[in-house]
Amino acid sequence: MNQQMPMIDLAGEYREIKSEIDSAVQRVLDSGHFILGDEVDALEQEIAAYLGVRHAIGVASGSDALFLALMALDVGPGDKVITTPFSFFATASCIVRLGAVPVFCDIDHRTFDLDPESVRKYLQASYTPAVKAIIPVHLYGQCCDMDPLFGLAATYGIKIVEDCAQSFGSTYKGRQSGGMGDIGCFSFFPTKNLGAYGDGGMVTTNDDGLAEHVRMLRVHGARHKYHHEELGINSRLDAMQAAILRVKLAHVDEWTERRRVLAAVYDRELSAIQWLQVPYVMPECRHTYHQYTIRVPRERRAMIQETLASSSIPTQVYYPEPLHQQPCFASTQELGGQLSNAEAAVPSVLSLPMYQGLKDCDQVEIGFLIGESGNGTV
């Protein structure tokens, strides 16, 4: 293989729906309306219908979605928010930016999602009324085990904010990610399964009051222009991104099913490698494979990456450093117990190319190279 394989082929995706995208972009240009407006309103309604929620509120990014969700829940200085240390930076930075403390609990060693048992142990040992929320992250396209978290939230009076940045279209026991907790937070970063051509995000909820609060907070805390009730932020989804997302929303289920077929091919090619773990999928869950992430012995990962790179096949590590070891959180965090599963995952996870245009023959080659490199024969 001479030509560099992408991790995700956004240009190929555009070519597939070029006429639809070009028409949507031209429609926005002709309208002269570029911030919020009819395109954003329509997208919000379509996303809400897709997810089966009452409200969807378009915002400027997935990071802002998390920040606004916690703002709407009145999380602030002295409060605590439980979350995972094995996630993108924004999951925890939104907590600290509000003056609250992230409490890092461990992950499930199979799914890499927040482990409800770790959360339970922390709450039993250390609960105070300062604990305001739990942020489970539906990592790699698979939902967390939510029922135990709902039970804990009900027992302790805690809100649940779903981080759905990687899980658009994922389901848990028939329920859509972003439609289960008090608030859901989506990212439309271009590489997501439903991605814009720039930044964008969405907040979802069934709570009328929370929805109204988020809508106000995203426009500088104003319900009416130039009358500011709170110190909100500027986080408005633009019409161009909304129009593009509306086109792609119509294709997302087809693309997701293609990803699931590709994941099955990877599973077939890799399952015979005894020292490698293919992604674990919880029963009654729809994994959307935002990433196809395997687990390999830490001493073999670098060799696998080098072997694949020599054949122009990229890989990525999500994430190379857990959040509780990030310097900027050193003085602002609390550890909710031992984080051994998260720390063990960091040197062993490896994400392989995953996009709907990936060819089965490429996956066969990837599987062969991984098997041979792990045996030290390549």
User: Does residue 94 form part of some domain?
Assistant: yes
User: Does residue 154 form part of some domain?
Assistant: yes
**pLDDT tens digits for 298-307?**
999 999 999 9
Q: Are residues 244 and 260 in the same domain?
A: no
Is pLDDT at 375 greater than 80 in this prediction? no
Q: Are residues 14 and 140 in the same domain?
A: yes
- CA 173 to CA 282: how far, in whole Å? 10
User: Does residue 1 form part of some domain?
Assistant: no
User: Does residue 314 form part of some domain?
Assistant: yes
Q: Are residues 99 and 51 in the same domain?
A: yes
Of the candidates 187, 221, 249, which is a domain's last residue?
249
* pLDDT range class, residue 376, cuts 50, 70, 90: low
Listed range (31-35, 169-173, 206-210, 370-374) with the worst mean pLDDT:
370-374
User: Does residue 3 form part of some domain?
Assistant: no
Q: Are residues 100 and 204 in the same domain?
A: yes
* Structural domain for 367, as ranges: 252-374
Q: Are residues 296 and 334 in the same domain?
A: yes
pLDDT of residue 1: 47
User: Does residue 359 form part of some domain?
Assistant: yes
Query: Mean pLDDT, to the nearest integer, of 293-321?
Result: 97
Q: Are residues 241 and 289 in the same domain?
A: no
Helix 116-126, helix 146-156: angle, nearest 10: 20
Q: Are residues 187 and 110 in the same domain?
A: yes
List phi, psi (to 5°) of 112: 70, 5
Query: Mean pLDDT, to the nearest integer, of 161-170?
Result: 98
Number of structural domains the chain divides into: 2
Of the candidates 223, 249, 275, which is a domain's last residue?
249
Check whether the bond before 140 is cis (ω within 30° of 0). no
User: Does residue 229 form part of some domain?
Assistant: yes
Alpha helix ranges (H) inside 144-238: 146-156, 208-217
Q: Are residues 172 and 305 in the same domain?
A: no
CATH number for the domain harbouring residue 326: 3.90.1150.10
CATH number for the domain harbouring residue 107: 3.40.640.10
**pLDDT tens digits for 258-287?**
999 999 999 999 999 999 999 999 999 999
Of the candidates 249, 284, 309, which is a domain's last residue?
249
Spatial contact of 80 and 73, defined as CB atoms under 8 Å apart: no
- In DSSP notation, 108-149 reads -TTT-SB-HHHHHHHHHHH--TTEEEEE-B-GGG----HHHH
Q: Are residues 106 and 160 in the same domain?
A: yes
Q: Are residues 28 and 157 in the same domain?
A: yes
User: Does residue 2 form part of some domain?
Assistant: no
- Global pTM reads 0.95
